[in-house]
Amino acid sequence: MDFELSHRQKQIRLAAREFAEGELMPIGKECEAKGEFPRDLIKKAAQLGFIGCFIKKEYGGLGLGLTEHAIILEEFWRAEPGLAQVLAQPAFGSDILLLYGTEEQKKKFLPPIAKGDWVMGFSITEPEAGSDAASVTTTAVKAGQEYIINGNKVMISNGTEAKFVLVFCLTGTEETPKSKRHSILLVETDRPGYKADRIQGKMGLHASDTANIFFNNVRVPEENLVGIEGNGFPQLIEFLNRSRVIIAAHAVGLSQGAMEQAVNYVKKRKQFGKTIASFQITQFKVAEMATLIETARELTYKACWYVDRGTPSPQLSSMAKWWASNVAVRVVDEALQLHGGYGYLDDYPIERYYRAAKLLELYEGTKEIQKLLIGRQILGVK
């Protein structure tokens, strides 16, 4: 298999890098400190096609593949993880609309996302349902030609800022077979009964919006069902097989950025009359970082390639997500270590990378869940 990027993909990388270095790097520290959601930045990124670049042209996007999407986000995460997270989220979940939405849903909801006018969210996690997504208790009960939604979701990206959210919920009862109990509904956030509380106490990524959301008798028309009633779980899994690869790309970018910062630092910083770079242990650390990143990148692009050729590999997606996020946490730790005590201060960006990296091992399936999925597939056990 040839992982050489095409000419077009290399051009996309250059454009994304130019945007990230010009627009993200200079304001990253300030945005993290203020914790404000930078709407203007989303608009600017959208004007260049970077938001939801995989959305088909007829719905306002560029119609690019997962590989191109991964390249763009890898570059954003390399430059400034906090703002990269903001730019990764506006179209989070739109793959579900592309894959399963009706023509009306796609025409109405996707173009404003691609233009950067709206952002969306995808709400799965609940107070008692995290890794075990199938155990959600949010209900959508059919009443005539409407669904009435009740429940509570937690830690939802864009929960406060979103124009609409997709809701993974129960439409079946105890009697319904487990695999047919769930559905995905689209809820406009201005509907009566929708409430969102922004979470203030995050460890990092402060400019991004993460919220707890509440549905209190929220009524949506039956046209807001996304896909087939009762088919929500397989739809969710298909989405995760794609989105986990994108988290892997975030991790590759963050690792690359962290390593580059460490390399720059150790070439300048002198101790014992020599640069830190001249110590063999530093050379070993950099060699390990670079090799780990290379393995994570190869795995990520391989998983992208399987999705783009129409044969997503759940095992590769989980491998890429687990391995790349593990690499990110290890690389950023060594990169900060090479900064010495200065790495712990906000004079250098590395402390922001350090705080951001941990999330990559947590959301869209923790590292334990990824390993569980890989192991079960290999062993053929449930």
Ligand X SMILES: Cc1cc2nc3c(=O)[nH]c(=O)nc-3n(C[C@H](O)[C@H](O)[C@H](O)COP(=O)(O)OP(=O)(O)OC[C@H]3O[C@@H](n4cnc5c(N)ncnc54)[C@H](O)[C@@H]3O)c2cc1C
Query: C-beta of 372: minimal distance to ligand X in Å?
Result: 6
Instruction: Give 26 or 127: the residue with its C-beta nearer to ligand X.
Output: 127
**Of 29-37, 119-127, 212-220, 262-270: span binding ligand X (CB under 6 A):** 119-127
Q: How many CB atoms lie within 10 A of CB 2?
A: 5
Q: Which residues sit opposite 211 in a β-bridge? A: 156, 198
CA atoms in the 13 A half-sphere facing the CB of 164: 20
Using the 8-state DSSP alphabet, how is residue 360 labeled? G
369: contact with ligand X by CB under 6 A? yes
Q: Which residue from 122, 214, 306, 354 is in contact with ligand X, where contact means CB under 6 A? A: 122
- The secondary structure element, H or E, covering residue 97 is helix 94-100
In the set 68, 146, 364, 368, the catalytic residue is 364
**Of 52-60, 318-326, 330-338, 364-372: span binding ligand X (CB under 6 A):** 364-372
Query: Cβ(70)–Cβ(246) under 8 Å?
Result: yes
Q: How far apart are CA 54 and CA 36, in angstroms?
A: 27
Largest CA distance in the chain: 79
25: contact with ligand X by CB under 6 A? no
Chain position carrying tokens 């997962």: 66
Site string for ligand X, 199-218 (x = CB under 6 A): ---x-------x--------
Q: Which residue from 67, 94, 105, 123 is in contact with ligand X, where contact means CB under 6 A? A: 123
Q: Which residue from 362, 375, 376, 377 is in contact with ligand X, where contact means CB under 6 A? A: 362
Any residues with CB less than 8 A from the CB of 152 and at least 6 apart, and which? Answer: 126, 127, 138, 212, 213, 214, 215
Query: C-beta of 334: minimal distance to ligand X in Å?
Result: 23
Tokens of 272: 């014992």
Site string for ligand X, 76-115 (x = CB under 6 A): ----------------------------------------
**Of 28-36, 74-82, 346-354, 367-375: span binding ligand X (CB under 6 A):** 367-375
Query: C-beta of 168: minimal distance to ligand X in Å?
Result: 7
Based on its alpha-carbon atoms, the radius of gyration of the chain, rounded to whole angstroms, reads 21
Q: How far apart are CA 267 and CA 116, in angstroms?
A: 40
Query: Cβ(214)–Cβ(194) under 8 Å?
Result: yes
Q: Which residue from 65, 111, 130, 234 is in contact with ligand X, where contact means CB under 6 A? A: 130
Query: C-beta of 366: minimal distance to ligand X in Å?
Result: 3
Residue type, 343: G
260 is catalytic: no
Residues that bind ligand X (CB under 6 A): 121-125, 130-131, 155-157, 202, 210, 359, 362-364, 366, 368-369, 372
Show which residues are catalytic.
Answer: 364
